[in-house]
Each structure stands twice: as C-alpha cells, then as structure tokens.
Amino acid sequence: MNDLTIVGKRVERVDVRAKVTGGALYAADVQMAGMLYGKIVRCYDYAHARVIKLDLSKAAKCKGVVRVLGPNDVTKKEYNASVLDMMVSADMRGVLGDIDDQNIFTDHVKHYGDAIAAVIATSEEAAERAAEKIIVTCEELPVYMTAEASKHPDAMQFRPEKPGNLAFQLPEMAFPNNTYAWGEVDDSFKEADIIVEDVFYVSKQKQCQMEPGAYIALYDDQERLNCWTSTQMPKLVQKKLANLFELPMTRVRINATVIGGGFGARLGMVLEPETCALAMAVPGRPVKVLSTREEDWVTSPSRHPGKYWMKMGFKKDGTPVACDAKFENYKGAYYVDASGTAFTTGAWLGGMYKFESLRYRGESYYTNQSICGAFRGYGNPQTNFVMEQLVDRACDKLGMDPIAWRKKWHKTVGDDGWCMGVPYNSCALDECLDRAAEAIGWTEKREKYKNQTGVKRRGIGVAVMNHTSGAMPMLLEHTVCDVLLHQDATATINLACSDMGQGSHTTLRQVAAESLGFPYEDVYIATGNTDAAGFDIGAHASRTLYVGGGAVKQACEDVKRQLFERAALELDEDVNNLYMEDKIIHVKGASNKSISVLTIADQGVNNFMNPENGELIGQPGQIKGYASFFPPHNAPPFGASIAEVEVDMETGEVTVIELVNAHDVGRAIHPGIVEGQLDGGAQQGLGMALTEETYYDDKGICLNNSFTDYKMLGPSDMPKMTNILVENSDPTGPFGAKGVGEAGIVPPVGATANAIFNAIGIQILEAPITPEKILKALEKKGR
C-alpha cells in the first residue's frame, strides 16, 4: 500500500471553511418563514414528585401564544430515547429487557428537569413568558439518588416490570449466573499469592458538547414529519420517530444539520420527540425548540456513575490468576442505555488482560438522577479508572514495573477480544508502551520520584486500553453507500454517516477518492437527508471510518468495476488486462489503446445515437456504485498513556505536567484528524480523573448544570501533550484503519490516577480526584 496518494495525507477538511467563516448551519441557525417557538416547561423544584394539578389556562391567554400542551395533548405512547433496541435482533431485545418508559410530558416527575408541558408561541420570548404562567402543583416524593437507596426494599418502584428498581442486570439466558465470565474465579483466587481489592466510585461526567440541543420540526402539507436536528444517528432517529408517531418511514424525514460536538450526548433521540409532538399540534408551521445550556445538561444523557467493586489475584511471579468485579451504576430516571453500558464496562475489562479466570457483573439501578447513556468510551473510562489502579497496586506489591507487567500480560492477537469468541486480529500495544515510555523518560523518572519529601511531589503513571471499531458482533453494524458517477467524471458519495466534528466526512472522502482513483477534488460526500440515504446505524462505537469507510470503499470499487467492464467492451480487451492512471483506463503493454473515465461517464448519460448508422455511441446507463456493508470484524484499537503529575501536599492540588499518548490506530487516514481525536479525548479523560462530576443536593436538585459550576480543564490547565501514532495496519479496516474516536479519552484516566499514586503513595478511590479527597487521604494516612 505504498502507492496511496490521498490516504495518509493532511488534506484540508471538508467543513472548515464554512465553520471558520460562520457559514456552517447548526440546527439553531436554521430560520424558516412562519417559524414558531416551543418552550418546554420542566420541573426544577423537585427530583421526584407527582403532578397533582396542572393549570395551563393563564399561559394560553398570554400574548403570542399559539398552543399550550400538557401530557394529555400529545401522544401518550411510551418510548425509549436510546436506540439499542434497534441494534439487536428481536429475540435479543427480549433477552436484554429494554423497555419503553419515557413520556413526552409526564405527571410523574422522576428527575430534576423532567418535562411537564410546553408552550408554542410566535417568538422565543413570548414562549418563555407564557411558560412562566403555567401553574404546576406537585406532591413531593422520596428521592433515590444511588443504587444503594433505590434497591432498598422499602423504596418506591420506578417501573412494575423492573422489581427492586433493577433496570438491568446481565440476563441469565445470555450470561449464566448473570455474569460475563470465563474460568472458575473462586478456584483461581486460591492460587493467588497477592490479592488486591477495593470499592471505587466513578463519576457522572457530562459531554459538554459546545452546541446545546436545538431542534426544528414541521408536519408539512404532505403530512410528512420533518425534523432538523444535529443527531449522531439520523437513520435510527427517523425510525424511532416513525414508531413513536405511528407513521411509515416515507413520511418521516430527518434533516441532519451540522453537529456542534456529540461525544454520545446525541446518540439516539434527545428532544426530537418533544419537538415533533409540538409540530404535530400545529400542522403546517415549523416549530423550533432551543435548549438552554442548563436544560441541555439535564435532558441529554451523561456518563453512568456508580460503585465499582473489583478484586484481582496474582501469583508471586506476576501471573494474573483471577479478576472479579461488579459495577452497580446509578442509572437515572429512565431506562435508555441501561443494558449497553452495564455490559460493555465488563467487556473492556475482559478484553484487557490474560486473567486465568474472570467474572464481571453489571447492574443498572433506577435513580432520580438525570438520564445516563452514551459518553465517549461507553464504560471504558470507568473500567480504566478502577482496573488500572488495581493493577498498579498489585505491581507495587509484587515489586514489578507497571509497564513491564502490562507488556507481559495484556491480551494480543489470537486472544479473545472484548467479546468472547471474537479474537483480536491486530495489536501493537507493546510498541505503544515502548514508544510512550521512551518519549517521557519513564525509567529515569520512576527512579527519580522514589522517596520524595517536600511539599511538591512528582509522580508518573501508565495506563493501557483496548477498544473497538464498531460494535460487531454484539450490535448490528451496517452502512449503505451509493456513489453516483456524473457525466463529467466526478462522483457524489451518498450516505447517512454523521460528522460530529471528528472529521469523518473528510476521511470518508479520502477513502472514496483513493478507492476510485480520482483526485480528492473530484468526489463529494453528500449526507444529511434521510430520504435519499440508505441505512446507517449512526455515529457511535468509533465506527464511522471503519464501517462507513468500508461501505464507501466497496461502493467505489463497484463503480470502478463497472468502468473497467465498459472499457473492456470499448477497447475489446480482457478486463484483467486493464489499469487506470489519472482517470484514463489503459491496456497493459499497449500505450495507444485507452479510454478516459470522462468518455465512459459522459457516454453513459449522453448515450447519443449516430444518425448515420443508428448505432449508440458508447455503453448506455449512468454508473452508480452501491454497497450494503457489514464489517467482518471490530478492528480493536489499543492505546497507552503515560502521565506525569505534581501534587501539592499542602493544598492537594494536582498539576498534570506532561501526557504522552501512544495509540495503535491501524492506519491514520488523516494524521491531523487522528491527533485531534487524541488531544480532545485527553482533555475529557483528564477531566474525568481530576475535576468533572455532576453534583446533587440531598433533594436531588442538580447543583452544577452549567459551565460556571462544572469544572473542565481549560487551556492553561492542559499539560504538554505528545501523541504517537502507531500504524499497524488492521487486516479488515479500510486501508488498514481502526476507529479512534473514543480511544483518546480512556487511558489518560488511569494514567493520571496512577501518577498520583506514584507521587503520594496513596490511591484515591473516587473520581474525580479532587484536592479535598487528596487532603483527606493524606490526613488519614498521617494519622
């Protein structure tokens, strides 16, 4: 693959000119004639309450108000905003136990910010003013903010079909004893010389994508439901809305607008149901619903927080014999991704090290928190925080170097991957570890930071991770792509894949141009219209380049095949005796015999008849390539991070001095885009380790749903960063590429925690590792 001309190049991204001039249209920027504005009335006084009286009458009389809607004025059909139920077979859906438990508007408030009613008015301000006139009278109910509280036998039941408020546990039918396991864990522990065990807490991190939710819906004159949204999953949202409003898919159209960041917050539906319900109430008028930042915070899903117990056993020589773990997450008020994350958190654990035996239990409990769902990494950052700290504790006890131990015991090619039965097919983690260690000076610094005294203490820590490219075989992986060859020999690539800002439309265009053998300028990626585009499961699980790229490559190869077949007919040659260069198809060894792609493309469309002899000129029919692509694997990305920190022993403050990330990316289709994913992932991973958590008071009122009160690392907080791209081509990825969208967030979490352990000799068991927790731990140790 040395003759690649576009893959591997830092081409200009397709969307940046529009973004840098402000011409890119995000959903909030779309204006339409006759636009109405919807304001959703939410409960901000209670996290759990029964609405006993809802008085809409005053609001209805306000200036500019068109309609006021309560729970009885919209469909009462329950739904599940997540899309996991569409990613598994009907049988599996039953096994997993996904349920529909959300309403457009509710009379049973289950979390801070739950939706009760809405106003439609002629301006945003009029809608807001009228919304304030809606009188809601509530009866307060007890709140359950943790799994421990909601599983209590006396707790109120969130759903009758989920006794004990256990929304999900690994189902017996697919996971014997409700465990994801291999070997005999209890027996294996008997062989252990050293056991490490603790209960950790992992935090409720928020995606904080820069664009707050914004939606427009229009039920038009053809009785079609149109929705403008920056969703990550246009085709699944189309189907979800079709189901909810009982319409055929032909009557639901998603116009996917430019996405201002997703990171999982736009996975599945967010406020599309509410906005569409408003539009259905005023046919013919577009209705725009804009979330405030505070509102977006509590209505889009967050990362799953919860208690994470883990126990590991090792032999004296370091052999990992057993790992036992249980993640009890504080699911939130509705089901959404209860099954997905509870499983994958264990899958990433199982996919990392060669434990003789392993047993993982994942349980999701309803709580009165805002919903939890997908967030970059999907359980992997949680596992990294816990697993990697325990491994380092064991290495400390065993007197082994954490990098040397990891190199010896991580899973690799041929070992069962994160999904048992699907072995890893490529792995360059050793090279990642070696190069990261060299870049940061691991050996010298580990030695130097032993036996420190003084106020400021340095530490250096490592963590590794495995992830995935697409969710095959657990979930459906499928992308449809068609390629239209125009008569001027340029090509439009039509598919539904979203670009959330990660750069997928650029890398897909690179894959298309490379596969067609056309210049980058001669291909265009067309997306955003669910009428035209075939199926795509959506942007999740680091899949867009791997699966979408696979579809693009196959559809482009289909075009190329047709071009060669026609050239063979025109040139009267065997198709295997042809080659293409600069869009001209030549006969091998016969320099005078050739035909251009332009001629074939033009003749296919303009298939004129020669008036003298009545013969058609060239081969008729416009060429269109097609692929309905199911990937053969999940091309696992691997990665390692090494962090160096400085801890102030008097204030507990942690400064990250340096972070090196080395990732096995298969092949970097666009190195700048890959670096960008690792950079941005690191900012979020460091944030999870050090500062990011959603806080509630004891009534369940959210205390920090704003940029003022939720601390993310800013430009001055970020360390010196180095990214090392290890290009170990995956046999199944397009041009060898693996998914890299989520990988970057994962190992900085464990590496930072381990660097703090290295600096102060104490492990902090709760994320984020704040100065208060460090001081408390130091004080406890001092005593």
Partner 1 sequence: MKKHAITLTVNGEDRDLVVSSNRTLLDALRDDLGFTDTKYGCGTGECGACTVLVDGTTAINGCLTLAATMNGKSITTAAGLARSGNLHPVQQAFIDNDAIQCGFCTPGMVLKTISLLDENPKPTEAEIRHGLEGNICRCTGYTKIVEAVQDASRRMSGAGE
Q: Which residues bind partner 1 (CB under 8 A)?
A: 10, 12-13, 15-26, 28-29, 31, 124, 207-212, 258-263, 290, 292-293, 500-503, 672-673, 675-676, 679-684, 706-708, 712, 714-716, 718, 721
Rg value, the chain, Cα: 28
Least separation, in Å, of the C-beta of 219 and partner 1?
Answer: 24
501 vs 652, which CB is nearer to partner 1? 501
Distance CA 445, CA 455 (A): 18
256 vs 400, which CB is nearer to partner 1? 256
Least separation, in Å, of the C-beta of 239 and partner 1?
Answer: 25
Distance CA 585, CA 597 (A): 7
**3 state SS of 235:** helix
Structure token pair of residue 404? 């040397």
233 vs 481, which CB is nearer to partner 1? 233
Tokens 């490379």, located at residue = 514
Least separation, in Å, of the C-beta of 766 and partner 1?
Answer: 24
Least separation, in Å, of the C-beta of 21 and partner 1?
Answer: 6
The DSSP element (H or E) to which 605 belongs, if any, is helix 597-605
Least separation, in Å, of the C-beta of 23 and partner 1?
Answer: 7
Tokens 């005796």, located at residue = 577
The answer to whether 137 and 46 are in contact (CB under 8 A) is: no
The dihedrals phi and psi of 190, each to the nearest 5 degrees, come to: -65, -25
The DSSP element (H or E) to which 431 belongs, if any, is helix 429-440
The answer to whether 214 and 291 are in contact (CB under 8 A) is: yes
The answer to whether 276 and 285 are in contact (CB under 8 A) is: no
Least separation, in Å, of the C-beta of 602 and partner 1?
Answer: 31
636: cis peptide before it, omega within 30°?
A: no
99 vs 718, which CB is nearer to partner 1? 718
85 vs 692, which CB is nearer to partner 1? 692
Least separation, in Å, of the C-beta of 656 and partner 1?
Answer: 12
Which residues are CB-contacts of 634 (< 8 A; sequence separation ≥ 6)? 417, 419, 422, 468, 469, 470, 471, 472, 473, 477, 546
Least separation, in Å, of the C-beta of 166 and partner 1?
Answer: 34
56 vs 497, which CB is nearer to partner 1? 497
Structure token pair of residue 548? 């979408």
Taking alpha carbons only, the member of 407, 448, 429, 400 closest to residue 193 is 400
Q: Measured in whole angstroms, how far is the alpha carbon of residue 166 from the centre of its chain?
A: 25
208 vs 568, which CB is nearer to partner 1? 208
Number of CB atoms found within 10 A of residue 417's CB: 22
Structure token pair of residue 415? 């070992």
Least separation, in Å, of the C-beta of 683 and partner 1?
Answer: 4
551 vs 702, which CB is nearer to partner 1? 702
Structure token pair of residue 420? 């048992």
220 vs 717, which CB is nearer to partner 1? 717
CA atoms within 13 A on the CB side of 448: 10
Least separation, in Å, of the C-beta of 660 and partner 1?
Answer: 13
296 vs 388, which CB is nearer to partner 1? 296
The answer to whether 461 and 402 are in contact (CB under 8 A) is: yes
Least separation, in Å, of the C-beta of 299 and partner 1?
Answer: 15
18 vs 174, which CB is nearer to partner 1? 18
The dihedrals phi and psi of 98, each to the nearest 5 degrees, come to: -60, 135
What ranges in 246-330 are assigned the alpha helix state H? 272-281, 293-299
